[in-house]
Structure 1
Amino acid sequence: MDQQPLLAHLIELRTRFVRIAAGLLLTFLALFHWSGDIYHLMAKPLLDVLPKGASMIATDVTAPFFVPVKVTMLVAFVLSLPNTLYQIWAFIAPGLYNHEKKLVLPLVISSVLLFMVGMLFAYFAVFPVVFGFMSAVTPDGVSMMTDIDKYLSFVLGMFVAFGVTFEVPVVVLLLNRMGIVSLAKLREGRPYMIVAAFVIAAVVTPPDVLSQVMMAVPLWLLYEAGIVMAQLVNKQQKTEVVDE
């Protein structure tokens, strides 16, 4: 492992942060011209189920400008993740042993990909169901006119919820690799995990049963995927030990 003075580490850390910020800023500036279109794409799942002639509203004077900007910044953050991850990896890699590098890099990449898959699942599968349900239960004489800022807050919350949910395989694998939970305990915990999945879904998602199931079932299946991943990693480790 390389032993560098503290000052050199701090300078390197500052350089990496500057490059991360520059990548995010450049991506945001490149997308800024289309911020209105990007927000419209984000709002499309709700706009598709609104009654004919209905629209979203802005109750704050500055919301028509700042809300699309916030959405564009979110998209820029996601698109600049490869640069962000590379800068983080370039900073920590010199201080890791070879066996740590073999584990950390795949975990970081898979964590980001799973989080993005969770966001896409929420956008394409969950949002149409949730907004369709809300539109269907709107009483007669009531206009469903959602404020764009509150819509953004709801969408971001759902993105985070489903993104974190899809991190379950990585969490299970880490718990096993760190020796905190054995494979036998993970298998024994299946019934508790199923109950916990439905409880979490009931708390996080809107009150319709379908959207709750759409979170609970993937959460359980991802837990099972984590067990399979832990089994494969353990087998690979045993094989490497035998070869050595």
Structure 2
Amino acid sequence: MLKLFTWLFAVGKLGKLLTTGGSMIISMLVYSWIFGWPYAVGFVLLIFVHEMGHFIAARQRGLDVGAPTFIPFVGAWIQLKELPHDVETEAYIGFAGPIAGSMGALACYWIGRNYGSNLMLALAYSGFMINLFNLIPISPLDGGRITAIISPKVWLAGIPLLIALFFYNPSPMLILIALLAYPQLKQAFSKEAPEGLPADYYQVPTNTRINYGVLYLGLVAFLALMSYELHEILPKS
């Protein structure tokens, strides 16, 4: 019986790895048809690094979390099988993805500048832009999860940003994000925690709010500057 349980556990772990690995390979294949294999592999790996930031942070806070799953042209996500117990935990997990992703993009940038690789610079640019996009202050993006610790009212600032992005570059993904964000926006006008969460969910010390706010703005500024620099130095074609 013990051997049976051990085998079932191993099969379950293998299934999770196959889900992550299989969806990564599918994404690489799809992106390779448009951008070629070298870029496709690097791009998906950068997304993987971002998601593993969330995964590790959730595990650090003792939450049950599933391995990343990838969908081409949508991105990837990890499944939180239990909700954070407070907004600081949610912000911590939300921050971990963009920080890990930015480090991955910065590594690509360093390699690209030191070895004259336009491929690595292009990957760095994509990595910086993806993480910057994810910091738009609206739930369910990472920026919404981070800025919730300041106040859910900050999410209202994300609405004009999404609208501006849609008019600049219409995308079905922006519509999807807007649809997912709509049920969350009512929380911006409520002083109570969402149903199913503790009543003191949003109660955190003022210095914690300030620290997260400063870190958030600093990361946004860094990613914006790096994205601009790479946009200027990459060959235009």
In the superposition, the TM-score normalised over structure 2's length comes to 0.36
Which structure carries more relative contact order (alpha carbon 8 Å, separation 6+)? 1
Judging by fraction of residues, say which structure has more helix: 1
